[in-house]
């Protein structure tokens, strides 16, 4: 027979241990909740710091160090921040704005930033809101030729050049928009509604999230011009038109080459203008020569080195050094890329910038003439 043992003591010890454990668990629970709150706040602070670093690196050249706006609109703007949700800001940054200097930043759109990066930047911009001033923007005037320029990069793949449609397999013209009858039948409210909301079932993309209101207004100005039977030339650079003129000459198409030269001349500048005249005269006389044309294209644009020096100091020296010794940006004195490239190549590069680096494109920031002047100055550093 087992001895009748007395367990009361053990039971009491067990109970005490359980109570102590319970107490310490609930203490841990309580402090954990505080710890979690602290770490969320910490995370938010980190995200803000990270967002600020990304903003400084990628956005200040256009939107200003405090988001006050330079070439790009002010982001430190009460009205904008009240109207735009985080989602809208995210989308604008991710996809950029086609045909403006606002690049697409999302990796899915060829940019350098991850979703997490963009969220951090949105947090940083959102933090402006509390103290943001209201920014009054100047009057906007829609422009058909800006609309045509946008159309020629964004819409023409489906709707054809000048909106005249494309041919299907059977040779029928489809998707024409520049068609007087339908333009007269529908007003701009109708066009605006279709452009903004798309026709997803038919394959017409939704543009309202990608294009700014102003860009849509430019497209509607284009519809007006087409409706009035006007032929609208897109805004284009001299360099683009010289490329097109050269291409036409190489195809033996003097008439088109002359067309492009005549469009380039009024906006061209500097000492090369006399070459524009003589080459145009040769083409008109049926003696167009592609090699001479290629020389002009490669020499374009020439500028004034003295004016360029001042601009370089203002705009480029911060990264490339006041003596071209380099810094954030590459060394400019001397620089192999410049030595080996034509003016047109350096021009195209500085207009476009290099994706994923601090070297932003200067298209829309500096005029063609200003860039030409800087290039003339940079040439004086190459021997
Ligand atoms: C090279 C110049 C340039 C750079 C760099 C640039 N932006 Fe922009 N951004 C613009 C321009 C120009 C617009 C206005 C486009 C338009 O007309 O709709 C714009 C528009 C925007 C808008 C929409 C504002 C609105 O009014 O709806 C946001 C948000 C924005 N940019 C954020 C950024 C962020 C964040 C970065 C950096 C990751 C950045 N941008 C870098 C030029 C730039
Ligand atoms: C990926 C191809 C594609 C692109 C790019 C595209 N569209 Fe469309 N669009 C369509 C299709 C498909 C339709 C539907 C045609 C139909 O249903 O008859 C359409 C219809 C339209 C219509 C209505 C035409 C009509 O008279 O019925 C307008 C206006 C229009 N698009 C404007 C634009 C503009 C402006 C752009 C550039 C910002 C653009 N589209 C870019 C494919 C495209
Ligand atoms: C915010 C800094 C920054 C500014 C401002 C800047 N650059 Fe740059 N630039 C860079 C960086 C970084 C590179 C190198 C990009 C790379 O890694 O390919 C570069 C590259 C270049 C190159 C190509 C050099 C080579 O060897 O590949 C040229 C030309 C150039 N910049 C010209 C200019 C001019 C002209 C200006 C002023 C209008 C300017 N940059 C302003 C940062 C800057």
Among 151, 204, 208, 226, the mutation site with the greatest number of ligand 2 atoms within 8 A of its Cβ is: 204
The verdict on 119 and 199 lying in the same domain is no
Task: State the Cα–Cα distance between residues 144 and 185, nearest whole angstrom.
Answer: 20
Using the mean position of ligand 3's atoms as its centre, give its distance from the Cα of residue 141 in Å.
33
Task: State the Cα–Cα distance between residues 311 and 375, nearest whole angstrom.
Answer: 10
pTM: 0.48
The verdict on 317 and 370 lying in the same domain is yes
Is there a domain that residue 11 lies in? no
Is there a domain that residue 1 lies in? no
Q: Measured from the CB, is residue 59 less than 6 Å from ligand 3? A: no
The verdict on 82 and 64 lying in the same domain is yes
3-state secondary structure of 39: helix
The boundaries of the domain holding residue 92 are 38-131
Burial (Cβ within 10 Å: 0-12, 13-18, ≥19) of residue 256: middle
Total domains in the chain come to: 4
The verdict on 61 and 108 lying in the same domain is yes
Phi/psi for 82 (5° steps) reads -70, -35
pLDDT tens track for 185-211: 999 999 999 999 999 999 999 998 778
Q: Do you know the residue count of the chain?
A: 383
The verdict on 124 and 54 lying in the same domain is yes
The verdict on 291 and 320 lying in the same domain is no
- Single out the residue in 205, 227, 249 at which a domain terminates: 227
**Is the pLDDT assigned to residue 61 strictly greater than 70?**
yes
**CATH number of the domain enclosing 201:** 1.10.760.10
Using the mean position of ligand 2's atoms as its centre, give its distance from the Cα of residue 86 in Å.
29
Question: Is the Cβ–Cβ distance between 111 and 55 less than 8 Å?
Answer: no
**Is the pLDDT assigned to residue 158 strictly greater than 50?**
yes
- Range of weakest confidence among 30-39, 78-87, 229-238, 263-272: 30-39
Using the mean position of ligand 3's atoms as its centre, give its distance from the Cα of residue 55 in Å.
18
- Single out the residue in 178, 201, 227 at which a domain terminates: 227
Is there a domain that residue 371 lies in? yes
The verdict on 292 and 336 lying in the same domain is no
Is there a domain that residue 345 lies in? yes
Residue of higher predicted confidence among 63 and 148: 148
Is there a domain that residue 175 lies in? yes
């Amino acid at each position: 027979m087992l001895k009748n043992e007395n367990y009361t003591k053990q039971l009491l010890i067990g109970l005490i241990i359980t109570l102590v454990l319970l107490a310490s668990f609930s203490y841990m629970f309580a402090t954990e909740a505080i710890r979690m709150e602290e770490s969320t706040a910490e995370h938010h602070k980190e995200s803000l710091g990270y967002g600020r670093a990304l903003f400084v690196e990628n956005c200040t050249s256009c939107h200003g160090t405090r988001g006050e706006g330079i070439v790009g609109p002010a982001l430190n703007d009460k009205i904008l921040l009240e109207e735009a949700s985080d989602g809208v800001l995210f989308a604008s940054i991710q996809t950029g704005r086609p045909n403006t200097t606002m690049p697409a930043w999302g990796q899915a759109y060829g940019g350098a930033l991850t979703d997490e990066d963009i969220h951090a930047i949105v947090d940083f911009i959102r933090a402006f809101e509390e103290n943001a001033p209201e920014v009054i923007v100047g009057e906007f005037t829609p422009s058909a030729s800006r609309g045509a320029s946008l159309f020629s990069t964004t819409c023409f793949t489906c709707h054809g050049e000048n909106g005249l449609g494309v041919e299907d397999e059977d040779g029928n013209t489809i998707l024409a928009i520049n068609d007087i009858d339908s333009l007269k039948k529908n007003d701009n409210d109708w066009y605006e509604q279709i452009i903004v909301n798309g026709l997803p079932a038919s394959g017409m993309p939704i543009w309202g999230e990608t294009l700014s209101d102003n860009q849509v207004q430019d497209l509607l100005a284009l519809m007006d011009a087409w409706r009035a039977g006007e032929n609208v030339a897109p805004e284009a650079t001299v360099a683009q038109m010289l490329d097109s003129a050269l291409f036409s000459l190489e195809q033996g198409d003097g008439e088109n080459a002359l067309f492009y030269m005549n469009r380039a001349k009024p906006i061209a500048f500097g000492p090369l203008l006399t070459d524009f005249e003589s080459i145009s005269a040769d083409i008109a006389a049926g003696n167009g020569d592609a090699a001479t044309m290629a020389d002009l294209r490669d020499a374009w644009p020439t500028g004034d080195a003295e004016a360029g020096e001042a601009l370089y100091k203002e705009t480029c020296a911060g990264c490339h050094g006041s003596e071209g010794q380099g810094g954030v940006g590459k060394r400019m004195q001397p620089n192999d890329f410049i030595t080996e490239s034509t003016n047109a190549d350096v021009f195209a590069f500085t207009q476009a910038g290099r994706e994923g680096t601090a070297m932003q494109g200067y298209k829309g920031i500096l005029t063609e003439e200003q860039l030409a002047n800087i290039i003339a100055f940079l040439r004086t550093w190459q021997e």
